[in-house]
Structure 1
Amino acid sequence: MIEMDFAQEDLIRLIVALVIGGTIGAEREYNGKSAGLRTMIMICVGSALFTMISGRIGGTGDRIAANIVNGIGFLGAGIIFREDNRVKGLTTAATVWAVSALGMCVGAGHYDIAIIGFIFILGSLLLLLSLSSRIQKMNQTRDYKIVTAFHNKTLKQYEDLFSEFNLKSNRHQQQRIGTEIIGNWRVSGSEQNHEKCIKRLLRDPEVKEFTF
């Protein structure tokens, strides 16, 4: 077998990092996530580069590889955001973190670990998507806001309605403004039960405003 020089080996590592990062990035891009094809390639190739240079520097160069994790942590934190009282972007942020680990494996020349890790990560993103959707349908948490006319009573009838459809509710702020009373709840239950309850509330003539 012909022994490769360092330039050829480095090139192979960067190509492998590009392919691995690009494949995972393509999956994220296809699903409309914020960190897509180009981002994942830059993360994987960049992590590989830092690992390769830390190996050449030696000694204190180990700190470079160690600081990759800290840098990726800041990048991942920027992907996570809140929307409608829900935290989103956690899976993409975790994927960024995992892709950087793959890049470090490739940069260190540990192709076996990188390939196995790549199979596990991509498999989790692809194969567990349907399972995640099924679990989500079994139990969802939604924020309900109901505005109705004030008739000298509380909004307990709506909590009874939630229970009728096997939904668990946690009462949040309720307030009266003029002739109206406003109620807020965090409601959890199956998607099917949510839909049945929502249809009932949408048909309720007493409900002036309904956010769900």
Structure 2
Amino acid sequence: MMDPWTIDTLHITMRLIMAVALGGLIGFERETSSHAAGFRTHILVCLGSTLIMLLSMYGFSAFAYLDNVRLDPARLAAQVISGIGFLGAGTIMFTGKSITGLTTAASLWVVAAMGLAIGAGFYYAAAVTCLLAFMCLWGLNHVEKKYFRAKQARQLTLETLDRPGILTAVSSLLTTQGHDIRRVSVEETPVTDGPSRMTIHLTVRLAKNNKLTPAIDALKQQEGVFSVTCE
């Protein structure tokens, strides 16, 4: 029977190379999408977690047969799962009222789990997970762009004259184009000279198959509107 606490150099090399290959596949998709954590980051995470798993399982084999010594191969692996959070958190960015990077953070977590599985010799599960993760990241990204992102809410900020009717005109223009205004807030903009101004914040849900660019152009041409920004 094979000793469960020892491993030869061939299998060590094979597991580390497999970690580079599978981690690189997920990282390649993130790199082509220009995300913060890309090709090299995913490879290093998968490779590092594989090494830690190998260390956890085989690095302390000299103590395996000593009295009163109990080895727990899952101990270091558990620390990887919780510790990868700091790297994932670094890819999450909060800009305005939107949060980006959650998918990349999740992909790093999955890649770390893949590395642990490879290090433990759980090849089939690691390969299937890699395939499913790649399908989710690459395949479902096209589905999301087609059916979901067009309906995402956008934040519009308008600098306008503070006069009656301006908010009604802006709202009418957006609803005419089929956009749904979900939230409106207005605040006065202090000015030292000239007519008084106000800032209008709009949360707009885009109409299906309708881009926001024509609406922004139309808002800029609206009388009394000085600037339009979109998030």
Q: Same-fold call, TM > 0.5?
A: yes
TM-score normalised by L of structure 1: 0.89
Say which of 171, 175, 189 aligns to 2:206.
189
The aligned residue for residue 210 of structure 1 is 228
Distance 1:16 1:143 in 2: 44
Distance 2:211 2:35 in 1: 29
Distance 2:53 2:12 in 1: 11
Is residue 2:141 matched to residue 1:123? no
Match for 2:52: what amino acid?
Answer: F
* Stretch of structure 1 that moved more, 67-76 or 131-140: 131-140
Query: 1:89, CA displacement in angstroms?
Result: 0.8
Query: 1:24, CA displacement in angstroms?
Result: 1.6
- Larger radius of gyration, structure 1 or 2? 2
The aligned residue for residue 36 of structure 1 is 38
**Native 8 Å contact 2:166 2:224 kept in 1:** no
Match for 2:143: what amino acid?
Answer: L
TM-score normalised by L of structure 2: 0.82
Query: 1:153, CA displacement in angstroms?
Result: 5.6
Match for 2:185: what amino acid?
Answer: H
The aligned residue for residue 18 of structure 1 is 20
The aligned residue for residue 164 of structure 1 is 176
Match for 1:192: what amino acid?
Answer: N
**Native 8 Å contact 1:25 1:40 kept in 2:** yes
**Native 8 Å contact 1:51 1:107 kept in 2:** yes
Query: 1:77, CA displacement in angstroms?
Result: 0.8
**Native 8 Å contact 1:165 1:193 kept in 2:** no
Match for 2:53: what amino acid?
Answer: T
**Native 8 Å contact 1:81 1:89 kept in 2:** yes
**Native 8 Å contact 2:20 2:46 kept in 1:** yes
Is residue 2:123 matched to residue 1:111? yes
Change (3 A) 1:158 1:32: same
Query: 1:174, CA displacement in angstroms?
Result: 2.3
Task: Count the aligned residue pairs.
Answer: 209
More helix by share: 1
The aligned residue for residue 143 of structure 1 is 155
For structure 2, the 5+ residue unaligned runs are 1-6, 61-69
* Stretch of structure 1 that moved more, 192-201 or 8-17: 192-201
SS in structure 2 opposite 1:59?
A: coil
Distance 2:26 2:211 in 1: 35
SS in structure 1 opposite 2:210?
A: helix
SS in structure 1 opposite 2:227?
A: strand
Q: Report percent identity of matched pairs.
A: 29
Query: 1:83, CA displacement in angstroms?
Result: 2.0
**Native 8 Å contact 1:25 1:37 kept in 2:** yes
Q: Deviations over 1:180-210 (max 9, x none)?
A: 1221111112361533422321221321111
Distance 1:70 1:198 in 2: 44
Q: Deviations over 1:65-119 (max 9, x none)?
A: 1111111111101110112321111111111001011111100101110111111
The aligned residue for residue 65 of structure 2 is none
What stretches of structure 1 move > 4 A for 4+ residues in a row?
A: none
